[in-house]
Amino acid sequence: MPKNPTPEQRMAWHAGHAANCPCRAMPAGVIRLFVDRGLPVPDQLALHKTADRKG
């Protein structure tokens, strides 16, 4: 991600990261960017990995 990213750059980076890395969920501030724009929040691989471990 570039220094001082625009909101759109943050959204793009975190969407790609969330889809490919189970390290952690997307930050709340980035989720809010999607919600505020009326866009669906990207699927988060981290949430699927956590759910898999519980069940």
pLDDT, position 49: 57
pLDDT of residue 52: 56
At residue 12, the pLDDT reads 95
Q: Which amino acid is located at 12 in the chain?
A: A
The model's pLDDT over 2-54, given as tens digits with 9 standing for 90+, comes to 899 999 999 999 999 988 888 888 899 999 999 999 999 988 776 665 555 55
Q: Where are the alpha helices (DSSP H) in the chain?
A: 7-20, 28-36, 45-54
